[in-house]
């Protein structure tokens, strides 16, 4: 599909600010519609939340933000884009695991039946909870992958999903379980949201991610998450688009004339960029948008794999370190109250176990982050090491080098993470509907031709490309008069 061009003075149809996964998704979509697109990025490389850099030692490649990608095979945009045909992935047989004291662990195999068997007495209850969602994983992704202010594309899936989120997001979350492994596994995933536990929004996100874990798994890009951004940049350039790096935009007035402008930025940045061009009522709505707590990130170069007590953890692409459901909830609720927990919840991934390109022979990369109050300046490296050592004695002795960032430094590296909030806005239940405003078309702003295409817009956080894709489709409808979806599939 190609639309009629109405270019600005610079010969551009569309300008995109921000070359993260959402900005690139928007740019690719518009370029595939036959428009001339230019992307501006403040950093010296494209990627944003999918960037990969040498953070510790030369030759050791670390993912700056996202490392494992549960939505790579499920996101509607990535399915349309044919991502798995463009990027090489490895999908661990164990999607995630939750170590417990005494050398025990909850293991989420991609095979749900095998997971049921490993969970013992709670296995059947866990399977009854997850089987209807895992069998409908793509429908779950389509239900959660847009604004919730619409008729669900599949009512049965919406009901099944909603009832389970209500159960696991309230005080009833332990009713179906007798032991501690299965509940710990579910809360370990729900805690990705950096929300208080239990919460309906956290449970919903956790159930969706767990469904993907038992459907197509949680894939890891070979070479690093940068491969996802590179695939989109390559497609954009192949279709006439361009990316300008090392170019920070401080005002919409600085941008060249174009029919539409799509912004992969937060509402806070949108207010600054628009200045007096923004209507007062819309500005006030954006000022009410709330940001969540943050992350402190620690990357390690190791001389050996993490010495987990439980042997199956070496096969897990992601390990949620924090102990039982009660312990993880306590740690997250302390963060929610503005405190630094002594025993934090830590997300851990060791991509080099599955991808030899990440580090030289004999070396390994370890990706970790933990949650902290918004804007925290606390260096959490020692707390992370102690918590991993709890389940992997001797871990400290494998560390060769490390790179630690506070929540404040995470924001300095990427302004789309205010206070270290990698969700670009608290993903609580209200803000899943009101993201960033209550509207069936939340990507379109009242400023003519300006669209919000970031994780601060529906459907929210995660490397999905969906906010950018949906913003681009809105722009095509409103400014170019077409509702036809551009063909994004790979071309020879």
The full 3-state SS of 132-152, as one line of letters, equals HHHCCHHHHHHHHCCCCCCCC
Q: State which of 368, 383, 413 marks the end of a domain.
A: 413
Q: What is the CATH number of the domain that holds 399?
A: 3.90.660
Residue 212 predicted with pLDDT over 50? yes
Q: Which of 437, 146, 420 is nearest to 271 (CA)?
A: 437
* Number of domains present in the structure of the chain: 2
**pTM exceeding the 0.85 threshold for the entire prediction:** yes
Condensed to tens digits (0 to 9), the pLDDT of residues 115-161 reads 999 999 999 999 999 999 999 999 999 999 999 888 899 999 999 99
Q: Is residue 255 part of a domain?
A: yes
Q: Is residue 64 part of a domain?
A: no
Q: Is residue 297 part of a domain?
A: yes
Q: What is the pLDDT of residue 4?
A: 44
Looking at the structure, do residues 100 and 172 belong to the same domain, yes or no?
A: yes
Residue 103 predicted with pLDDT over 80? yes
Q: What is the pLDDT of residue 3?
A: 52
In terms of residue numbers, what domain contains 194?
76-220+293-413
Residue 37 DSSP SS3: strand
Q: State which of 387, 413, 439 marks the end of a domain.
A: 413
Condensed to tens digits (0 to 9), the pLDDT of residues 153-185 reads 999 999 999 999 999 999 999 999 999 999 999
| Cα gap 112→26, rounded to integer Å | 35
Q: Is residue 314 part of a domain?
A: yes
Q: Which of 367, 315, 368 is nearest to 346 (CA)?
A: 368
When the pLDDT of each residue in the chain is averaged and rounded to a whole number, the result is 96
Looking at the structure, do residues 268 and 314 belong to the same domain, yes or no?
A: no
Q: What is the pLDDT of residue 9?
A: 46
Q: Is residue 418 part of a domain?
A: no
Looking at the structure, do residues 372 and 303 belong to the same domain, yes or no?
A: yes
Q: What is the pLDDT of residue 151?
A: 87
Q: Is residue 269 part of a domain?
A: yes
Q: State which of 356, 386, 413 marks the end of a domain.
A: 413
Q: Is residue 42 part of a domain?
A: yes
Residue 7 predicted with pLDDT over 70? no
């Amino acid at each position: 599909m190609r639309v009629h061009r109405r270019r600005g003075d610079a010969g551009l149809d569309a300008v995109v600010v921000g070359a993260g996964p959402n900005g690139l998704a928007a740019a690719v979509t518009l370029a595939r519609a036959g428009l001339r697109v230019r992307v501006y990025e403040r950093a010296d490389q494209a990627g944003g939340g999918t960037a990969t850099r040498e953070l510790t030692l030369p030759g050791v490649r670390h993912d700056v933000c996202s490392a494992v990608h549960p939505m790579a095979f499920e996101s509607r945009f990535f399915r349309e884009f044919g991502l798995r045909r463009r990027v090489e992935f490895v999908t661990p047989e164990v999607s995630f695991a939750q170590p417990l004291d005494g050398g025990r662990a909850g293991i989420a195999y991609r095979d749900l039946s095998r997971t049921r068997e490993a969970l013992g007495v709670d296995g059947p209850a866990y399977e009854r909870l997850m089987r209807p969602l895992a069998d409908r994983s793509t429908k779950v992704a389509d239900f959660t992958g847009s604004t919730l202010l619409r008729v669900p594309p599949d009512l049965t899936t919406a009901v099944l999903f909603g009832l389970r989120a209500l159960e696991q997001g309230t005080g009833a979350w332990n009713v179906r379980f007798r032991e501690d492994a299965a509940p710990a596994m579910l809360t370990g995933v729900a805690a990705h949201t950096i929300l208080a536990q239990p919460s309906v929004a956290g449970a919903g996100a956790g159930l969706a991610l767990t469904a993907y874990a038992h459907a197509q798994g949680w894939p890891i890009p070979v070479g690093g998450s940068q491969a996802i951004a590179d695939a989109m940049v390559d497609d954009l350039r192949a279709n006439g688009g361009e990316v300008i790096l090392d170019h920070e935009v401080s005002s919409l007035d600085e941008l060249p004339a174009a029919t539409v402008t799509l912004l992969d930025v937060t509402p806070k940045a949108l207010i600054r960029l628009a200045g007096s061009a923004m209507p007062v009522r819309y500005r006030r709505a954006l000022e009410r948008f709330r940001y969540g707590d943050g992350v402190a990130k620690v990357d390690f170069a190791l001389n050996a794999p993490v010495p987990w007590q439980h042997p199956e953890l070496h096969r897990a692409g992601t390990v949620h370190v924090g102990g039982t459901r009660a312990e993880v909830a306590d740690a997250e609720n302390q963060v929610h109250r503005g405190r630094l927990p002594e025993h934090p919840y830590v997300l851990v991934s060791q991509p080099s176990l599955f991808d030899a390109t990440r580090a030289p022979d004999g070396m390994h990369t370890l990706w970790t982050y933990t949650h902290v109050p918004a804007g925290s300046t606390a260096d959490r490296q020692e707390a992370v090491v102690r918590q991993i050592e709890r389940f992997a004695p001797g871990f400290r002795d494998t560390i060769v080098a490390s790179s630690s960032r506070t929540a404040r430094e995470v924001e300095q590296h990427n302004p789309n993470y205010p206070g270290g909030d990698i969700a670009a806005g608290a993903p609580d239940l209200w803000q899943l509907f009101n993201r960033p405003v209550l509207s069936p078309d939340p990507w379109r702003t009242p400023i003519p031709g300006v669209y919000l295409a970031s994780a601060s817009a529906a459907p929210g956080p995660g490397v999905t490309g969906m906010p950018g894709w949906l913003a681009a489709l809105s722009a095509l409808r409103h400014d170019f008069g077409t509702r036809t979806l551009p063909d994004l599939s790979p071309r020879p």
